[in-house]
A and B are shown apart, each in its own frame.
Chain A
Amino acid sequence: MKSALAVAGTSLLRVSKDRRALLFLIVLPVVVILIIGATVRGFSTIRVGVVDLGSGAAGRSLVSAMEGSSNLEVQRYPTLAAATTAVSRGEAATAVVLPRGMDAALRAGRSADVAVLANQSNTTQQAAAAAVGSVVAKEGARVQAAYFASSRALGTYEADLRAAASLQRSTPQSRVLSRVVDASSQTLPEGFSYSAPTMLVLFVFVNALASGAVIIETRRLGLYERMAAAPIRRAAIVLGETLAYFLVALTQATLIVGIGALAFGVSWGNPPAAAALVILWALVGAGAGVLSGTLFRTPEQAGAIGPPVGIVLAMLGGCMWPLSIVSSFMRELGHATPQAWAVDAWTDLMSRGGTLGSIAPKLGILAAFAAGLLLLSTLRLGKVVARR
């Protein structure tokens, strides 16, 4: 064990002296987290289609209210058929149909049915319909108040409607400040809370693949041969190298978590569960890094091929955009990568208040990825060290 620690310690000493490695370990991830966190928003905005069949002033008022809602983006469609097609294609999460004569009906005290198109089996569309329903209900309250006042000869309908709207705005209301922890959220929170966990997943893996160059260089220098001539077991060399990769990945992940929390106010969720996730991801990174060092022939190959491979896996795995917005085929394909399970676990923790218990299945899958990669990589590194 002392020999393995000597091997690991020397590898870590080399990393600590390598300014370029420190740039990729700390500086670059933080810069990318900053840029993506500040620019990428809108995954929780719902696109709502609107078909106005001649609703009049009441319909325009309702559309205006929806456009004023922070989480709704209104897209107008000329016909009901066009709106239905958009919803079925997923171009709009839902569609609101404003009926002909809506304004006249409301003025006359009759009800007007506003149809909302949504797929019953699609939870995103159901959530969109609920959001639209909330806006319609709020607008409906104003209409009812105006109708009540005008029916009691307290003014004209238009003036009472304006008064009701003004009163609604000025009346103190109980505000409910909520974090996104509802069980149906399919994405990470926005801003830095999105970029920090996804970039943690991306950079730990990409950096590990690129640093496979260290193993290749050690082999080319003849240092494994020199180590193997010492009175130590070759397993100690393999263990030491793997331990070094694990500690580098763990250090990088911990730094991103720390900087994310302190500098960007990221809440990483349940601490024990987050810690378990970070450790498992570091093990996945260690396995991938050592494997990279045994698969590529030259340090240049590892540096040139490793990062693109890591970035493609990160794209498939949901580090660049949520897998909830891609097709089911791409979502299933993405879950062939460990990145997807790591991002899913972070989504559980950060968007749905997940715990160690709730993310245990995902941790189990990540553990299987880590075990597979570590087994394969250590067997291959063992062969590199032995060369008997």
Chain B
Amino acid sequence: MSSKIIDSLVSSAKNGSAEAFGELYEIYSRDMFRFAYYYLGSSALAEDCVSECVCIAYEKIGSLRKASAFKSWLFKILHNCCNSALREKIRSDGNVEYSALTDLSSESEDINEKLSLKQALSLLSDEDREIVILHYCQGYTSKEIGEILGIKDATVRSKILRSGEKLRKFLQK
């Protein structure tokens, strides 16, 4: 991605141009929705979170100092929106059941059967799930993931290995 193009789009977006912001958004829109969808397990919730993220990002883009950080910044906001959605679910339900957020009811619960991706993802912790999606689904590096989640590079690398192993085992059961 040409940094000059990004710089100019960010600059226009900071001046209030919704179209420029839209161009920036379009680059990542699919990634954002996929991330939220796999993380929350529900396309309706994912749609809400991406929508909320976009509003917040557009509103706050004035505070983005480095245009080159747009992507991590945007995903950081999305990560926060998704986790807020999960926290609100915990608060309103008392306990959160990840499966309650997903459409798992029609899937087989026989443990011996090979798990679907959704089932396998639901067995991971929130953080493992985020890392798995950012890395294995979207190909983000440990550095990018570290910026988004606010954790050390080295920690991300080991978490990528660990959570990848777990997911692989769940899927091949």
Q: Tell me, yes or no, whether A binds B.
A: no
A-binding residues in B (CB < 8 A): none
Q: Residues on A close to B: CB < 8 A?
A: none
